[in-house]
C-alpha cells in the first residue's frame, strides 16, 4: 500500500527554529547566523564587529559553535560581551534545538544583536535553520574564486556574503567578479561586501547593513 | 556528515506515518531532494541503510528523485537545464547574466508499506 506523505524532512528543526525566532522577536533581539569555511575569518570578523557595534551603542552577544574547542569563545570573551560556547562534539553543524538550549546562558533583554557563529563548514549547516533573521556567509580570497560555484546551496541561502581578506588580492590572482556574479545568479536579493579585517575595508558597510536590517526587522515586528 | 541527522529526522516522520497506517514493514521510501538542498543523494542512501537497521524499514529501497538545475538567461530569456554541474553561462547567447531556480526541496513524498492481512 502506498502512503502519501509530502512533508519537509527537516520540519521538526524548522519548527524549533521558528520557536527560537518567536522568542527573539518577543525580546527584540536581532539574530545573525554566520557561516563560512574554516579559516575564512569568521571569529576575527566578529571581533571587529563587536567593537564597531559598541561604538554605535548596540549591544552584541555571540553564540559560538565549534567541533571540539573553546578557542573562538575565549577570543570573543576578551571583548567583555555575553558569549556562550556550543561544542558539537564532532557534529558538523548546529541545529535549532542546540541553540534553544544554549539561550539559557544569555539574558536576552541585555542584547540588541546576537551572532550565532556556526561550525566552520560550507556544506552541512546549510539546511538547518536556527531561528536567525539573516544569514551571512563569509569566505576569503586565499580560498580561491570557485567557492560559490562549488557550494551553491550555501551561497544561495545567504542574505549577505562577505568576501574577506580582500587585502590578499595583491598576493594572488582572484577574479572578484566571478563569485559575485554567480552569487547574484543564485540570489538576486543578496548584499555583497568586500572586506578586510586587517585594513578595516568594508567594516563600515557591514555595520550599516546590520543596522539597517535590524531596524527593518524591528519595525516589521512592531 | 549531516546526512545522518537528516535521516534521523526522516525516520521520525516515517515511523509516525507507518504507525498511523498500521504498517508492519516499509518496503520503499521516495524522497525529493533539490539540487540546492546541500544534500548528497549517495550519502543519504548510506545513512538510510545504517539508520534503518533493525527497524521496520530494514532492507527498504530508498528512491531519491532529483531534478536538473534550472537556469534562466536574463539577456535572451532562454531556459536551460543542467543535470551535472551548475552552469552560470547561457548556452544560447553566452551571457553570464543568468538566474538559477532555487530548488532546495528536502521532501519525503511517499512510502510503500506492508500491512498485516488482519488489518486490511
User: Mean pLDDT across the stretch A35-53?
Assistant: 95
Within chain B, what is the greatest distance between any pair of CA atoms?
63
Eight-class DSSP state of B2: H
The cell for A139 is 569566505
Region for residue A170 given its phi and psi (left: phi exceeds 0; alpha: psi -120 to 50; beta: otherwise): alpha
Residue A12 to residue B9, Cβ atoms within 8 A: yes
Give pLDDT, residue A91.
77
Q: What's the gap in Å between the CA of A146 and the closest CA on chain B? A: 12
**What is the percent of chain A with per-residue pLDDT over 70, rounded to a whole number?**
100
- Average predicted confidence (pLDDT) for chain A: 94
* Strand boundaries in chain A, DSSP class E: 2-8, 30-36, 60-66, 83-87, 113-117, 134-140, 160-164, 191-194
CA angle A197, A200, A206 (to 5 degrees): 85
Q: Is A185 on the interface with B (CB under 8 A)?
A: yes
pLDDT tens per residue, range B49-82: 999 999 999 999 999 999 889 999 999 999 999 8
Number of domains in chain B: 1
Give pLDDT, residue A88.
75
Please state, in angstroms and as integers, the Cα–Cα distance from residue B38 to each residue in A122, A188, B82, B97, B102, following that order: 9, 19, 17, 23, 12
Residue A4 to residue B112, Cβ atoms within 8 A: no
pLDDT exceeds cutoff 90 at B38: no
Residue B107 to residue A4, Cβ atoms within 8 A: no
Q: Which residues of B touch A126 (CB under 8 A)?
A: 37-38
In a domain, B95, yes or no: yes
pLDDT tens per residue, range A70-102: 888 888 989 999 999 888 777 789 999 999 999
pLDDT exceeds cutoff 70 at B1: no
Classify burial at A64, counting beta carbons within 10 Å of its beta carbon; exposed 0-12, middle 13-18, buried 19 or more: buried
State whether residue B24 is helix, strand or coil. Answer: strand
- Inter-axis angle of helices A11-26 and B2-20, to 10 degrees? 110
Residue A9 binned pLDDT confidence (cut-offs 50, 70, 90): very high
CATH number at residue B45: 3.30.2320.80
Q: Which of B38, B72, B115 best probes binding to A when mutated, by most A CB atoms within 10 angstroms?
A: B38
Give pLDDT, residue B116.
78
The H-assigned helical ranges of A138-176 are: 147-150, 152-156
Q: Which residues of A touch B109 (CB under 8 A)?
A: 4-6
User: Mean pLDDT across the stretch A188-212?
Assistant: 97
Q: Is A124 on the interface with B (CB under 8 A)?
A: yes
The cell for B90 is 547561457
Domain boundaries, chain A: 16-220
Q: Report the C-alpha gap between A197 and A195 in whole angstroms.
A: 7
Q: Is B39 on the interface with A (CB under 8 A)?
A: yes
Q: Which residues of B touch A187 (CB under 8 A)?
A: 102
- Measured from the Cβ of residue B113, the count of other Cβ atoms closer than 10 Å reads 23
Residue A186 to residue B36, Cβ atoms within 8 A: yes
Give pLDDT, residue B119.
60
Which residues span the domain enclosing B24?
A: 2-115
CATH superfamily of domain region A16-220: P-loop containing nucleotide triphosphate hydrolases (3.40.50.300)
Q: Report the C-alpha gap between A21 and A221 in whole angstroms.
A: 11
In a domain, B120, yes or no: no
Contact B23, B114 (CB under 8 A): yes
Amino acid at each position: 500500500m502506498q502512503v502519501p506523505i509530502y512533508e519537509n524532512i527537516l520540519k521538526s528543526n524548522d519548527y524549533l527554529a521558528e520557536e527560537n525566532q518567536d522568542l527573539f522577536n518577543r525580546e527584540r533581539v536581532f539574530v545573525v547566523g554566520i557561516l563560512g569555511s574554516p579559516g575564512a575569518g569568521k571569529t576575527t570578523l566578529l571581533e571587529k564587529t563587536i567593537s564597531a557595534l559598541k561604538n554605535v551603542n548596540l549591544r552584541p552577544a555571540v553564540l559560538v559553535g565549534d567541533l571540539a574547542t573553546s578557542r573562538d569563545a575565549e577570543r570573543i570573551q576578551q571583548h567583555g560581551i555575553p558569549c556562550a560556547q556550543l561544542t558539537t562534539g564532532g557534529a558538523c553543524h548546529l541545529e535549532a534545538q542546540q541553540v534553544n538550549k544554549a539561550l539559557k546562558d544569555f539574558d536576552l533583554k541585555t542584547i540588541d544583536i546576537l551572532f550565532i557563529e556556526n561550525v566552520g563548514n560550507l556544506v552541512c549547516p546549510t539546511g538547518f535553520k536556527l531561528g536567525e533573521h539573516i544569514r551571512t556567509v563569509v569566505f576569503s580570497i586565499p580560498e580561491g574564486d570557485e567557492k560559490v560555484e562549488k557550494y551553491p546551496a550555501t551561497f544561495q541561502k545567504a542574505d549577505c556574503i562577505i568576501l574577506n581578506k580582500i587585502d590578499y588580492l595583491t598576493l594572488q590572482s582572484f577574479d572578484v567578479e566571478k563569485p559575485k556574479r554567480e552569487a547574484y545568479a543564485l540570489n538576486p536579493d543578496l548584499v555583497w561586501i568586500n572586506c578586510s579585517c586587517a585594513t578595516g575595508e568594508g567594516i563600515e558597510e557591514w555595520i550599516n547593513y546590520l543596522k539597517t536590517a535590524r531596524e527593518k526587522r524591528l519595525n516589521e515586528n512592531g | 556528515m549531516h546526512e545522518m541527522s537528516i535521516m534521523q529526522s526522516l525516520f521520525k516522520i516515517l515511523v509516525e506515518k507507518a504507525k498511523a497506517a498500521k504498517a508492519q514493514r516499509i518496503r520503499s521510501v521516495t524522497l525529493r531532494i533539490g539540487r540546492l538542498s546541500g544534500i548528497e543523494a549517495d550519502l543519504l542512501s548510506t545513512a538510510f541503510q545504517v539508520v534503518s537497521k533493525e527497524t521496520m524499514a530494514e532492507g527498504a529501497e530508498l528512491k531519491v528523485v532529483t531534478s536538473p538545475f534550472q537556469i534562466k538567461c536574463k539577456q535572451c530569456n532562454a531556459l536551460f537545464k543542467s543535470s551535472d554541474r551548475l552552469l552560470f553561462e547561457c548556452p544560447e547567447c553566452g551571457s553570464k547574466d543568468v538566474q538559477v531556480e532555487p530548488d532546495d526541496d528536502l521532501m519525503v513524498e511517499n512510502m510503500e508499506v506492508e500491512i498485516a492481512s488482519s488489518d486490511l
